[in-house]
Amino acid sequence: MAKGSKREGGGIGELLAYAGDRKFLTYLGMALSALSQLLGFGPYVCIWFVARDLIAVAPNWSEAIDIAMYGWWAVGFALASIVVYFVGLMCTHLSAFRCASNIRKTASEHLLKLPLGYFDTHATGELRRIVDGCAASTETLLAHMLPDIAGATAMVVGLLVLLFALDWRLGAACLISVAVSLGAMATMMGGKGGEFMKAYMGALVKMNKTGTEYVRGIPVVKVFQQTVYSFKAFHDAIAEYADMAQNYSGTFCRGPQVLNLTALNGLVAFLLPVALLLAPGETDFAHFMANFTFYAIFSAVVPTAMTKLMFVGEASQMSADSLARIRSVMDSKQLSVPTQPKHPAGNDVRFEDVSFTYEGAEAPAVNHVSFSVSAGSTLALVGPSGGGKSTCASLIPRFWDVSSGRVLVGGVDVRDMDPHELMDQVAFVFQTNQLFRQTLADNVRASKPTATDDEVRAALSAAQCDDIVAKLPQGINTMLGAGGAYLSGGEVQRVALARAILKDAPIVVLDEATAFADPENEALIQRAFSKLAAGRTVIMIAHRLSTVVGADQIVVLNQGSVQESGTHAELLSQNGLYAKMWAEYEQAASWKITATTADAAVAKGGEA
């Protein structure tokens, strides 16, 4: 289904477009729900027939010979209403399940086509809440609320017909409570009520996002003996949600809801005074009492109808907001795919006057950057934090597309290449890497699903992972993660290197790959680097300047611009930013804890 077709009609029409060939079931279910509500009036009418006949023959009750028949008719209407409503809900549920499933599938497929950088700026908790939670919300609307809307509409229409069918004066008295209830609901759900629902859904998304971040940070919280308050974002999200909900329900809804419930449940307070005023002028008092009995009995239907309308309005607001959030994901710009892709003629990488600004940022992260990396050589990107190093690295595989300028691989603009071919050209090793809850072999094989066990073992060996394989009970077939074996941070990094080696891509991007490794793992990782880099084009980012000394070229980035470039020796001779960073690095590397240092630290702590 074309994306544009989902916008036709907007709102419910846009949702139902996701239901595909089951859309008609929604309309059928709504019609059956409306019929069920009309059938539900039957027992009340039969009860009125019983009361009418008894009043007509009073006190000779035995003359009311049709009472048993009315009773059976009432049972028949009640059972028919239940069966029809059940069939209607089955229809709407089948359509709703298909709709929610297609929303999740379509959103997931769309996410797969977005630039990978999108997931750096959108938390996983937020996306999960939008894709899964909002789809569930629309499922509730289609499966329950739409048939209830149809049923409530039929109930209101039938109610109006019946209220004015016998005595319009008593019917008008009953409508007074309906008018009061509608006014109270409009006050709660209109204006500020609508704004509240948007804020409510936003608060849920925010709590989901910060809650995910907090769970991931629990080890840090426990190590430093802190509480939930130490994670301010999570605490503030909970407090904001609680304050908003309490203020809305306590300040804004309390009065209207009290009035609403009083008017509906006290309907007899409107009906009885009118009946007392009209009774003295009635010539056929028995007929008038029968009519009054009907309205007294039927008044029980009014609160049910109005309560359904209230919940329908609330669900409609939530679903509209959910649809808007799903639309925000679906409207995210996909990674463009050229109709006639070009093929690279080599493995060199070149930046030509590249600038890039993150969405919502005022200053560019990368500003008119130019450099080139010849095939088979190594380029190191260094500089202060926030200088644009990781941004430059992410522009090579099109995690983002440049704002201006060009990034070329093998002489071809990466935007003119097929994304799959570009990904085949580049292997990545990041600061933090994720292992799946699979075997060690399957984790390595993620970069090349067709690899044999021998190829996986060779990649692990080249990545200096022989000691990891040796200690695992089932070797490369050992499960990792929950219910299996766990690896240290440095070991995870070496497994990630094995992935990159197995991929055998001609271009390798290393983003602070040794940042969190201990000395032993760092030595092993450096050895694995030499295997990975052999004969390949390497772009590496590092804060430990000792790891870039042997690079063929070093580019120093500062505030998004190239400040210096050259070899290690050339940059030291320029006595610029790199020379200053090298001096600071050597000073930090030579720092040792001595008795004097320790005493000074203790003394400083004592003074504090």
Cα–Cα dist 344/409, whole Å: 6
Q: Give start-end residues of each CATH 3.40.50.300 domain in the chain.
A: 349-596
pLDDT at 7: 45
For 242-269, give the DSSP string.
HHHHHHIIIIIIHHHHHHHHHHHHTTHH
pLDDT at 36: 92
pLDDT at 415: 92
pLDDT at 514: 56
pLDDT at 190: 64
Please identify, in words, the CATH class of the domain defined by 7-330.
mainly alpha
pLDDT at 8: 41
Bridge pairing between strands 507-511 and 553-558: unpaired
Weakly modelled stretches of the chain, pLDDT under 70: 1-11, 121, 123-126, 189-198, 201, 216, 220-230, 251, 309-322, 431-432, 482-484, 512-522, 589-608
Q: Give start-end residues of each CATH 1.20.1560.10 domain in the chain.
A: 7-330
Cα–Cα dist 412/241, whole Å: 50
CATH 3.40.50.300 at 349-596, yes or no: yes
**What's the whole-model pTM score?**
0.61
Place of tokens 């649809």: 323
Cα–Cα dist 388/314, whole Å: 47
> How crowded is residue 147: how many other Cβ atoms within 10 Å of its Cβ?
27
Beta strands in 258-417 (DSSP E): 349-356, 366-373, 378-382, 404-409, 412-413
pLDDT at 230: 59
**DSSP run (H or E) holding 91:** helix 67-112
The residues that bridge with 508 in the sheet, in sequence order, are: 427, 538
Calculate ∠ Cα 204-209-212, nearest 5°: 120
